[in-house]
Structure 1
Amino acid sequence: MANVRELMARLGPSTVKFDTGCGGTPDLTNQDIAAALGMVPSGLGRELLEACWWPDGAALRRHRLRDAVIALVTPELQRQQRRLAEARTDLGLAEVCIGWGGSATAEQRANRDAAQQRLCRVKMQCWPISTLESLPTLAMAVINEIAQRAHCASCEGRGQTQPRELLMPCKVCGGSGLGQVSDRRRACAIGRDESTYRSKWRGVYEWLLRRMTEAEQEAAWALMITLNKGEGAAA
């Protein structure tokens, strides 16, 4: 079975026919691939699979990719806002205790200082305020990286190395099989300078990249299983 991502390229417009051979019935026709794609569970993974490897088809349903990405980030944004609100409330309560008559005790001051530090940590962990308005740019940059990212040079895309006859996850890519991408390249992709990317945008970008990569890989796996079943039935 060829890489299913490469098979999806057949679905795009081309002057070359990939589904014909030197006679007989082709192993997989474009109709087979399209039908198998339709059997992949709907959601972010399938939308990303099309956006990365069949952009002409994805262009007809941009709203589905938009909705899927928004559905992905909304719970995380809500979680961050809840943590921020809780941290602010804790600080307010600590300050109220200090001002509740009499002199502040050492314990009250310690509680206030701890609450202030927690609020600072939570603020640093939250995504930038402009994340939602920047989401289209972020999502497109991540999609382009998934579609164009080179294989890890150390393990040649396998995600594993075999020192002394023992298979082990590649230390360079962490087992992903993907090559490294610099902060400068990612910053350029979202229209930010490198220092701003590192201080404000790296967290949200890498979060999106992890989850979108996982979703795309799951969809590709589902497509491969469907195609394999189809080949088995044809045999």
Structure 2
Amino acid sequence: MTHPAYLLARLNPANARFDVGSGGIQELTQQDIAASIAFIPQGIGRELLCRVWWPEGAKLNAADLDKRLIDLQFGEWRERMDALVTAQIHEQTAETGWARKQAQNELVRARHHMWPRIDETYSLIRRAVVNELIDPRTCPDCKGRGAGMAGELVRGCMRCAGTGKTIRGPVWRAAQLRMKHQSYRQMWEQPYEWLFEKCNDEVHQATRELSKAASV
């Protein structure tokens, strides 16, 4: 079965992509595919799916995608800051030793989960996350084939779940954020991974919606 997101690649100019599968999609016209997009709920998932597989079409909504990512990213930052402030208030207003101990534990957790102060790095994170979704790492175990030999049997690759692709490593991510590997691991790994996982989940959900709409 053809990956449903490959359908979007058919909407690109003829010279933009040559890696589109052909099985089972001959009956779908470009108009059919474009109409299927409307059945994907509006949101980050749909915008990212188009950005990954239909870059020409996504250009029209590039600013909208970044606005949605900003709202998602800093909405989470605000929630974490609220949790930190609440923990500080609880510590200062605790009236018993037990309550103070609980508040101190709450404060430790809130500080651990708090992200760095807001600066241009968050913009670089948004850009890098989108780039990683567009161009993930070729799986080093199966060399991008999605499967390998286990004795005389061909088995799907466990590392990449048969996709031939996997996530980028911390060195690549640090370079995208214009910082040293150590700085990324110490300060920025948490906000990067949070946004990447959220976006990846959104793309997968949008892909499922496209599959249902196009019946592939």
The verdict on a shared fold, with TM-score over 0.5 as the criterion, is: yes
* Farther-moved stretch of structure 1 (199-208 vs 71-80): 71-80
How far apart are the structure 1 equivalents of 2:170 and 2:57?
31
Q: Using the TM superposition, give the Cα deviation of residue 7 of structure 1 relative to its aligned residue in structure 2, in angstroms.
A: 2.4
Q: Deviations over 1:22-76 (max 9, x none)?
A: xxxx522222211111221111110000111112211111232123213323442
Question: What secondary structure sits across from 1:217 in the alignment?
Answer: helix
Are 1:137 and 2:112 matched, yes or no?
Answer: no
Which residue number in structure 1 is paired with residue 110 of structure 2? 122
Q: 1:82 to 1:16 in 2, by over 3 A?
A: closer
In 1, Cα distance between equivalents of 2:162 and 2:156: 12
In the alignment, residue 34 of structure 1 is paired with which amino acid? A
Q: Is 2:47 the partner of 1:59?
A: no
Aligned to 1:221: 208
Where does 1:1-235 land on structure 2 (aligned, <5 Å)? 1-15=1-15, 26-94=26-94, 108=97, 115-116=103-104, 118-130=106-118, 133-150=120-137, 152=139, 154=141, 170=158, 172=159, 178-228=165-215
- Offset, 1:169: 9.9
Aligned AA (2:60): L
Structure 2 alignment gaps of length 5 or more: 19-25
Change beyond 3 A, Cα 1:168–1:149: closer
Deviation, 1:137, is 1.9
- 1: CA distance, partners of 2:82 / 2:214: 44
CA offset digits 1:1-32 (Å, max 9, x no partner): 422332222222235999xxxxxxx5222222
* Matching residue's letter, 2:205: E
Q: After TM superposition, give the deviation of residue 218 of structure 1 in Å.
A: 0.9
CA apart distance, 1:111: 6.2
Secondary structure class of the residue paired with 2:28: coil
Residues 180 and 52 of structure 1: CA distance in aligned 2, closer, same or farther (over 3 Å): closer
Partner residue in 1 for 2:21:
none
> Which residue number corresponds to residue 101 of structure 1?
none
Cα RMSD after superposing both structures: 3.4
Corresponding letter in the other structure for 2:44: L
Judging by fraction of residues, say which structure has more helix: 1
Q: Which has the larger radius of gyration?
A: 1
**Cα deviation per residue 1:150-209 (whole Å; 9 max; x = unaligned)?**
4545576869xx99x9x9993x45x59542422111111122211111011100111111
C-alpha spacing 1:52/1:123, structure 2 compared with 1 (3 Å): same
Residue by residue over 1:107-163, the C-alpha shift from the partner in whole angstroms, topping out at 9 and shown as x without a partner, is 74x8656645543442231111126x433321221111112114545576869xx99
* Alpha-carbon separation, structure 1, partners of 2:167 and 2:29: 35
